[in-house]
Amino acid sequence: MTVPPLLIAAHGAPSCPPSQEIWVEDLAARVAALRGGPTLGVTLAAAKPFARKAAQAAALGPVIRVYPLFMTDGWFTKSQLPRRLAAAGLAPERLGILQPLGLDPGLPALCAARAQQAAAARGLAPAETRLVFAAHGSPRSPRPAEVTRQVGEAARRIGGFRSLSCGFVDEEPGLEDALRGDGPAVCLPFFATRASHVLEDLPEALEAARFAGPVAEPIGLDPGLPAMIAAAARSAPNGT
Q: Assign domain 6-101+224-235 to a CATH class.
A: alpha beta
Band (117; pLDDT cuts 50, 70, 90): very high
List pLDDT tens digits, range 136-146: 999 899 999 99
**Band of pLDDT at residue 240, cut at 50, 70 and 90:** very low
Mean pLDDT of 80-98: 90
Confidence (pLDDT) at 13 = 74
Is residue 51 within 8 A of residue 83, CB to CB? The reply is no
Q: Write the class of the CATH domain 107-221.
A: alpha beta
| pLDDT of amino acid 16 | 66
pLDDT at 238 over 70: no
Give the residue extent of every domain in the chain: 6-101+224-235, 107-221
Weakest mean pLDDT among 26-30, 54-58, 167-171, 172-176: 54-58
Tens of pLDDT along 153-194? 999 999 999 999 999 999 999 999 999 988 999 999 999 988
In angstroms, the CA 104 to CA 127 distance is 26
The yes-or-no answer to whether 6-101+224-235 and 107-221 have a common fold is yes
Give the model's pLDDT for residue 164.
98
Position 25 pLDDT exceeds 60: yes
pTM of the predicted model, to two decimals? Answer: 0.92
